[in-house]
Amino acid sequence: MGRSQAIGGGRDPRFGPEADDAGCPILHVDMDAFFAAVEVRRRPELRGRPVVVGGVGPRGVVSSASYEARRYGVRSAMPAGRARALCPHAVFLPPDFTEYSAASDAVMRIFRDVTPLVEPLSLDEAFLDVSGAQRLLGRPAAIARDIRARVAEEQRLTCSVGVAPSKFVAKLGSTRAKPDGMIVVPAGQVLDFLHPLPVGALWGVGERAAETLHRLGLMTVGDLAAAPPRMLRGALGEASAAHLHELSWGRDPRRVVPEQAEKSIGAEMTYDTDVTDPATIRRSLLALADKVGVRLRAGGHVGRTVTIKIRVTDFRTVNRSRTMQTGTDVAREIFETSWALFEALRPAEAIRLVGVRVDGLAPAAGASRQLSLGEPDRGWREAEAATDAAAARFGRSIVVPASLLGQTDLRRTENHPHSTVVPLSDPPPPS
């Protein structure tokens, strides 16, 4: 959607928790400063202090910032250097996605106690359709209040909720309710809520689109709603103009979809300084392949296509893929394919980012796997499954290959909701 900063905060009594919620079965629940809040929950001495998750290395970015840090202008996706300049006395912590995933699972269970129609958007937010829950649990606003109370009591975290007739408006409502608030947008007052908002609040309006609309004199959602369709088509194109026109009038027919199959699973890392050493890149691909393997096995998936992503020092990005005969969830196979792809590519420039992704996912149950000539019928997959079991009991760092000992930077990855599990043995060194 549009930039959340464009929506702003503020409480309007017309859209308070006691507003008319008839015809408002859609809830958007958004956890408040989720990663930072989880860190404060397990470190109570940090309460009231500015806390920033992420941004540990010189090229890191902010994953989450407490509201105390946000008062200094620190925001998600901000470069680490900028965040430190704005708030030098903040506590900077590396992300712990294992902890965040566990907290997310607990919160999502609360949502699913209310309704099976839960559509997670990420670890910290979800849409709920409570149409069928009202007979047992009451009106939508009452359900939203109960959810907020349970999250606070059981998880010691806060969330903000938007209650509205549609997903789009509910999402805007939760953003405007932050932090730790609730907004109800009555069905008959959707346009009163929408039209004063800046155009940047609309889904699909990024910085460039907002600049284009501003040049046309369209500053608010109401301005866009009143604009001649021909003018919008000329500025934005047919599809975008039609999409934004519908949203500006509060029309969003999308339903809450409880399950969406993953199409790919991947992980990537950005180096603190550009890298030319093949051995370092090899260790990185090992760590990333393990992350992907762990997620595949945890989700019950296998995948056939392995892709590596390489970003060089001038920000050019190259992808290379190979499709295997059968699907795999074995990190060793993913690593070997990734390394072969890199060996074939071998860019001359220094590398700032590497990534590994597996596509073509299918359920692991029922997927057949053909052994290579001379390959034992028991081996890497069993070893990695044993590692998974040990990690579940003792923690993810219990089994680490020698090549990754002390390489904590190789286990700090981006855009990935799980921490690293590494295989029981090292790959051979590069020739």
Both 341 and 223 in a single domain? no
Both 315 and 401 in a single domain? yes
What is the spatial distance between Cα 430 and Cα 359, in angstroms, rounded to a whole number? 26
Domain that holds residue 321: 264-411
- Cβ pair 269, 414 in contact under 8 A: yes
pLDDT of residue 425: 38
Task: Examine residue 3 and state whether it is found in any structural domain, yes or no.
Answer: no
pLDDT of residue 300: 86
Both 354 and 272 in a single domain? yes
Both 342 and 213 in a single domain? no
Both 271 and 369 in a single domain? yes
pLDDT of residue 152: 97
Both 269 and 404 in a single domain? yes
pLDDT of residue 77: 87
- Cβ pair 118, 125 in contact under 8 A: no
- 120 φ, ψ (degrees, to nearest 5): -65, 140
Task: Examine residue 141 and state whether it is found in any structural domain, yes or no.
Answer: no
pLDDT of residue 378: 47
The DSSP bridge partners found for residue 61 are 79
Task: Examine residue 242 and state whether it is found in any structural domain, yes or no.
Answer: yes
- Binding region: 30, 124
Q: In terms of C-beta density within 10 A (0-12 exposed, 13-18 middle, 19 or more buried), how is residue 150 classed? A: middle
What is the spatial distance between Cα 176 and Cα 210, in angstroms, rounded to a whole number? 19
Task: Examine residue 152 and state whether it is found in any structural domain, yes or no.
Answer: no
- Cβ pair 224, 213 in contact under 8 A: yes
- Cβ pair 212, 50 in contact under 8 A: no
Both 311 and 228 in a single domain? no
pLDDT of residue 399: 56
Domains identified in the chain, total number:
3
Left if phi > 0, otherwise alpha if psi is -120 to 50, otherwise beta: which for 377?
A: alpha
What is the spatial distance between Cα 229 and Cα 215, in angstroms, rounded to a whole number? 16
Which of 11-42 are b and which e, b meaning 16 or more Cβ less than 10 Å from the residue's Cβ? eeeebebebebeebbbbbbbbbbbbbbbbbee
Task: Examine residue 374 and state whether it is found in any structural domain, yes or no.
Answer: yes
Residue 125 a catalytic site member: yes
Three-state SS annotation for the chain: CCCHHHCCCCCCHHHCCCCCCCCCCEEEEEECCHHHHHHHHHCHHHCCCCEEEECCCCCCEEEEECHHHHCCCCCCCCEHHHHHHHCCCCEEECCCHHHHHHHHHHHHHHHHHHCCCEEEEECCEEEEECHHHHHHHCCHHHHHHHHHHHHHHHHCCCEEEEEECCHHHHHHHHHHHCCCCEEECCHHHHHHHHCCCEHHHCCCCCHHHHHHHHHCCCCEHHHHHHCCHHHHHHHHCHHHHHHHHHHHCCCCCCCCCCCCCCCEEEEEEEEEEEECCHHHHHHHHHHHHHHHHHHHHHHCEEEEEEEEEEEECCCCEEEEEEEEEEEECCHHHHHHHHHHHHHHHCCCCCEEEEEEEEEEEEECCCCCCCCCCCCCCCCHHHHHHHHHHHHHHHCCCCCCCHHHCCCHHHHCCECCCCCCCCCCCCCCCCC
Regions of the chain short of the pLDDT cut 50:
1-3, 5, 371-378, 396, 398, 402, 408-431
Tokens at residue 4, please? 């959340």
Both 231 and 354 in a single domain? no
In degrees, rounded to 5, the angle at the alpha carbon of residue 199 between the alpha carbons of residues 194 and 202 is 70
Both 336 and 217 in a single domain? no
- 33 φ, ψ (degrees, to nearest 5): 45, 55
Q: Which residues contact 416 (CB under 8 A, 6 or more apart)?
A: 97, 266, 267, 268, 291
Q: How do beta strands 125-129 and 26-31 pair?
A: antiparallel
Both 244 and 268 in a single domain? no
What is the spatial distance between Cα 239 and Cα 223, in angstroms, rounded to a whole number? 19
- 391 φ, ψ (degrees, to nearest 5): -65, -40
**Distance, CA of 196 to chain centre:** 29
Domain end point (choices 60, 78, 97): 97
CA pseudo-torsion sign 236, 239, 243, 249: positive
Active-site annotation holder among 39, 68, 125, 333: 125
208: domain CATH number?
A: 1.10.150.20
- Binding region for Mg(2+): 30, 124
Domain end point (choices 215, 248, 281): 248
pLDDT of residue 272: 83
Task: Examine residue 305 and state whether it is found in any structural domain, yes or no.
Answer: yes
Pick from 426, 271, 285, 279: nearest CA to 358 = 285
Q: What's the whole-model pTM score? A: 0.69
- 298 φ, ψ (degrees, to nearest 5): -65, -35
Task: Examine residue 293 and state whether it is found in any structural domain, yes or no.
Answer: yes
Both 215 and 290 in a single domain? no
**CA distance from start to end of the chain:** 48
Task: Examine residue 286 and state whether it is found in any structural domain, yes or no.
Answer: yes
Both 294 and 345 in a single domain? yes
- Cβ pair 354, 269 in contact under 8 A: yes
356: domain CATH number?
A: 3.30.1490.100
42: domain CATH number?
A: 3.40.1170.60
